[in-house]
Chain A
Amino acid sequence: MIDLLLTYPIISALVALGGLSVFFGAVLGFAAVKFKVEGDPLVERIDELLPQTQCGQCGYPGCRPYAEAIANGDAINKCPPGGQATVNNLADLLGVSAPTLDAEDGADTDVKKVAFIREDECIGCTKCLQACPVDAIVGAAKQMHTVIADECTGCDLCVEPCPVDCIDMLPVATTIKDWGWQMPKPAKGPHIIATDKTVPQDHAA
C-alpha cells in the first residue's frame, strides 16, 4: 500500500485530497445539524416592527404571515395601522428606499381607536368573540359581551360580523396619564433674522 503510494505520488495526492474532503464534509454536515437556525431570523425582526394589530388589512391573516411575506419579497407598504413610520422602519431594516404607504390599503390615521360594544344592544351571539384576533372580547353565548379596552388593538375585525351592529370604534381619549408635550411648531418661514425679535413686543405693550 505504502509502496504503491510512494511509487505513484498522484495517487497519494488523490487519497490525501479525498480524505480531506470527507473530513471537512463531515464537519460541515455536523455543524449544519448542530447549529441549525430555527425559523427565519429576518421574519422575527420584521415581525418586531409590525404593530401587531393582527387586522389583516395587508391581505394576510395577521402580522406574522405578512412578515413572512415581506421576507419573501412582498411590498412593505401594506400596513395602514403602522402608518408611514412602520414603512420607514421596515425600509431601514431591509435596506430599501421607503415607499409611501399604499393609499389603497386604507388611510393612515394617527387616531388610535378601540372597539366599544353598546352593551344594551348586544344579543350575545359570540360572533365578535370569534373574530377578535387577540381575544380581547369577553362574553359567552347569550351573555353580554364587552371589550377589554387595554387589550384591544383597534383592528376593526369585530365590527363587520356583528349582526346587530352594536360595535363602535371609538377614538382613545387622552388622559392626564398618557398626555404628552407636543413638538414645538417650527417657525413660520425660514427667514427670521435677529431684528424679528422686536415684533412680539407690540403685544407686550
Chain B
Amino acid sequence: MRQIWDIHGGVHPPENKHQSLRKPLATIPLAPELVLPLNQHIGNPAVPAVQIGEKVLKGQLIADAQGIFSACIHAPTSGEIIAIEDRPIAHPSGLSAPCIVLRPDGEDRWTELQPCEDPASLDHVTLVEKIRAAGLAGMGGAGFPTAVKLNPRSTDRVETLILNGTECEPYITADDVLMRVYADEIIQGALLLARIVGTPKEILVGIEDNKPEAIAAMQKAAQGTPVEVVVFPTKYPSGGEKQLIQILTGKEVPSGKIPAQIGVLVQNVGTAYAAWRAVRYGEPLIERITTVVGDALGVQRNIHVPIGTPVAHVLEQHGFAAGRCARIIIGGPMMGYSIEDPQVPVVKTTNCIMAPSHAEMPPAPPAQACIRCGMCAEACPASLLPQQLYWYAQAEDHQRLQNHNLFDCIECGACSFVCPSAIPLVQYYRAAKTTIRRIDAEKQKADRARERFEQRKERIAKAEAEKEAKRLARKKAAEEVKSRLEEPKPVVVTVDPVASAQEKAQIAPEDADSQNKKLVRQLESAQIRVQHLQQQIAECDDATRRDALTAQLRQAELKLEETRKKLDDLERGVSLPLEQRLQNVAQKVQASPLDAQRNAVATIEKRLAVAIEKMEEAEREGKPTLAAFTQGVEKLRAKLAEAQAELAELEKQPQLLADADPQHDAAAAAIARAQAKAAATATMSSEEKHAEQLRSLRDRVEKARAKLAEAEASGSEHVAALRTGLEKLEAKLADLEQQGK
C-alpha cells in the first residue's frame, strides 16, 4: 500500500452523488442546432476553417488552432454551417462570444478518420501532433490545451504522471461513470500519455474512496500494467491539481510555479480517455460525458453529449420543470456558476449541468459581519488567511492582498462554505483578483503609452532641430550672398560689366546645360500634372472635390507657365553666341544714360503693376501676406518716383544726348536684333518645342543604348540599372511621340 498524505483544511459538504448514478450512461437525440464557441479552452480562440453554408461531416475540422496556445474544434455531427456569429456562451459573465452554428442533417456521417493500430510505434512528435489535431483541452474544468501540457520545457522532466479521477465536488459523477465504463481505455490512455512525456517513474490514478465501483473497475484494468490506482479519503477539494499532487506525492507546488517544475504532470481521466480515442481511432474531441442532475429534473443521469448542444436541449430531454428550478448551474455547487440563458452550449469543459430546486439550493442568506472566528483559515486548502484577504479586499489594499498570496487561492469556496456569517468570501477574492489584473494591465498600457509619448517627443524634437539647422544654413548662405553683393558694387559704373559678363558666359555653358535639362524635366512633369488634373476634373462628379481639383489645376498651370518662361529665358541666354552677348553688354554700357534711365523707369513700372495686381489678389482673398505686399508696392512707388525724377533731369541735358547719339544708334540696332531673336524664341510654337524635346529625348535614348551596350560588353554590374533606365526613357519617348500625333 502506497503512502498518502493529507492536505491542509478541506471540507465535507453533502456528496449528493447517488442521484445521478441510479441510471446508466445514456445518449440523447441530437439537438436541432449545435453552437460551437471558438474559445472553449484557455488561450487564443480558434479561427473558423469553414464558410457559412458549407456542408461538413462528423469529425471534420471546422476551426483551426491559432498559435500554440489554442485548440482545434471539430464538427460534432454531419450537417450544414448556418452561421458564424456571436452567441451567448457558458461563462459567468453571460456575455456573447464568436461561435460556429451547425445544423445537423441527422445522418451523423463520419469524415474519414486516421486510426492507428499500434500507437506504440509512433514517436513523441507524431503523438503530440495527433493530440493537438484532435483539439484536446483539459476536461477537468480549466480547459488547458493538452498538447501544450504534454510538451513540458526541456528542463522539466516528468517523474510522476497523475490521472485525476478524484471528482471531489458534490453532485458531479461524470468521471466516476467514465471510469466504470471505460476503465480499459483510460488505462491505455494513461500509458499513452506516459509514453509521450518520456516514461515517468510512476503513473498514478488518484480516486477518492467514495467511488468503490470505479476503483474496482480501474484496478482490474490496471492489472499487469505499471499504472497504480491510489485510493484516498474523500474530502473537498482533493481534486484540485496542487492538492492532488500533495496527497499522492507529498510534494507541494511552490507559489507561482506549475507542477511540471517539480516533475509532476496531472491530467484528468477524461483527457486520458480522449487522448486514447484520438490516437487509436483518430477521433477528435467532439463529445463528452456530462452529469445532468438536480431536483428540478425528471431524470437525473450521466449522458454522452455532443459538444455544442444547448443546455436547454439537454434539460428538455430530462423532464425539466422550469417552475421548480432555482437556477441553472454549469459545474458543481461549489465552483460552478449560474447561467441566465439556457441556450448556452455544452463545451469541452462542461462536466455538470445542475438544475436544483429551490429547496435543494436556497438563495444565499444575507452576509453578516465577520466575527473573526477563523474557521475559514482552518478550511483553506491553500493555507491562506481568508479573513485577512477579506478585509484587504474590502479595503482594496492590493499590495497587502498580494503579500498574503491572494493569487494562490484556487477559488474552491471552502471558506464561504464554512463561514458562519455567510460571507461570500470567494466572490471578494475573485473580484480582487480581477481588479489587480486589470490594474496590472492598465499599468502595462500606461508604460507603453509613456514610451510612445516619449518617442514621439523625441521625433518631433529631432525634426525641429533639423528644420532649425536648415534654416540657419539658409540664413548663413543668404547673408554670404548679401555681403558678396554689397561689397563690390558701390556704383553701377565702377564694375566692369564686360568682364563680369565674360566670366558669366564662360561659366554659363555647362551650368546652363544642366539647368536646361532640369527645366525640361520640370516642364514635362508640370505638363503631365496638368493633363492628369484635367482628366480628373473631367471624371469627377463631386462638386467640392472638383473645386479643390480646379484650384490645383490653376496652380499647376501657373507652375507650367513659370517653368516654360524660365526655360525660354535660359534658351535665349544660351543660344546667343558669346561675342554677341558681350556686345550686348557693351552696348548696354555704352547706351546713353538717358536710355538706360528710361529703361529703368519702364522696368520699375512693370514691376509695380505686377505688385499691385498681387496686392489686390491678396486683398480679395484676405491673405495674411497683404501687409507685405502693400509695403512692397509703396517701396516700388517711391523708387519709381525717384527714377522718374532722374529721368527728367537727364532730359534737361540735350547736349549729353547729342554726344552719345552716334554710338547710340548702333547700340539701338543691336538691341533691336537681340530683341527680335528673343521674341522669336519666346513665340516658338508648342509644336516646335515638342519637336525640340523629342530630339533631345532621342539623343538621350541613343546615348543610354550606347552606354548599355558598353556595360554589357564589359560585363559591368550596372547593366540591370542601365537597362531599366533605358526602358524608362524609351517609354517616355513613345509617350512623347504619341502626344505629337
In the complex, per-residue mask of B79-96: 1 if CB is within 8 Å of any chain A CB, else 0: 000000000010111010
Complex-state Cα separation, A45 to B58, whole angstroms: 59
Interface residues of B in 94-121 (CB under 8 A from A): 95, 97
Q: Verify B367–A184 contact, CB threshold 8 A.
A: yes
**A204-B358, A204-B362 are known contacts. Are A179 and B427 too (CB-CB below 8 A)?**
no
Complex Cα gap A134–B626 (Å): 38
The residue of chain A having its C-beta at the shortest distance from the C-beta of B365 within the complex is A197
Whether A180 and B358, one on each chain, are in contact in the complex, defined by CB atoms closer than 8 angstroms, is: no
User: Within residues 371 to 429 of chain B, which ones have a CB less than 8 A from any CB in chain A?
Assistant: 393, 422, 424, 427-428
Interface string of B424-447 (1 = CB under 8 A from A): 100110111111011001100111
Q: Name the interface residues of A169-189: CB closer than 8 Å to any CB of B.
A: 174-176, 178-184, 186-187
| Contacting pair A203 B358 (CB below 8 A) | yes
Which residues from 153 to 205 on chain A have a C-beta closer than 8 Å to any C-beta of chain B? 153, 174-176, 178-184, 186-187, 190, 192-194, 196-197, 199-201, 203-205
Classify chain A: how many residues form its interface, as a range. Answer: 35 or more
Interface SS, A side: loop
**Cross-chain contact B89 with A176 (CB below 8 angstroms):** yes
B492, CB-defined interface residue at 8 Å = no
A124 proximal to B (CB < 8 A): no
Segment 129-163 of A: residues with Cβ below 8 Å from B? 133-136, 151, 153
**Please, which residues of chain A bring their CB within 8 A of the CB of B363?**
200, 203-204
Contact B428 A53 (CB under 8 A): no
Q: A193–B367 Cα gap in the complex (Å)?
A: 10
| CB <8 Å contact, B92 and A181 | yes
Give the complex CA separation of A174 and B94 in angstroms: 11
Closest to B420 in A: A194
Binding site of B, secondary structure by majority: helix, strand, loop or mixed?
helix
Instruction: List, in ascending order, chain B residues with CB within 8 A of A182's CB.
Output: 431
Cβ B427 vs Cβ A184 within 8 A: yes
Q: Is the CB of B428 within 8 A of A135?
A: no
B430 engages A187 (CB within 8 Å): no
Q: Is the CB of A176 within 8 A of B427?
A: no
B456: interface (CB < 8 Å): yes
Flag if B368 contacts A174 (CB, 8 Å): no
**Is B164 on the interface with A (CB-CB < 8 A)?**
no
B366 within 8 A of A: yes
On whether the beta carbons of B456 and A176 are closer than 8 Å, the reply is: no
- Bound-state CA distance A182–B437 (Å) is 13
Contacts known (A52-B453, A176-B93, A184-B424); A205 close to B366, Cβ less than 8 A: no
List B residues 448-486 near A (Cβ within 8 Å).
Answer: 448-450, 452-457
List the 7 shortest-distance A-B pairs measured between CB atoms, nearest first.
A180-B434, A52-B446, A181-B430, A179-B93, A197-B365, A52-B449, A183-B431
Known contacts A52-B446, A134-B456, A183-B432; 12 further A-B pairs (Cβ under 8 A) = A47-B450, A52-B450, A54-B453, A175-B97, A178-B441, A179-B91, A181-B92, A187-B367, A197-B365, A200-B365, A201-B362, A204-B358
**Chain B residues engaging chain A, CB cutoff 8 angstroms:** 39, 89, 91-93, 95, 97, 326, 358-359, 362-369, 393, 422, 424, 427-428, 430-435, 437-438, 441-442, 445-450, 452-457
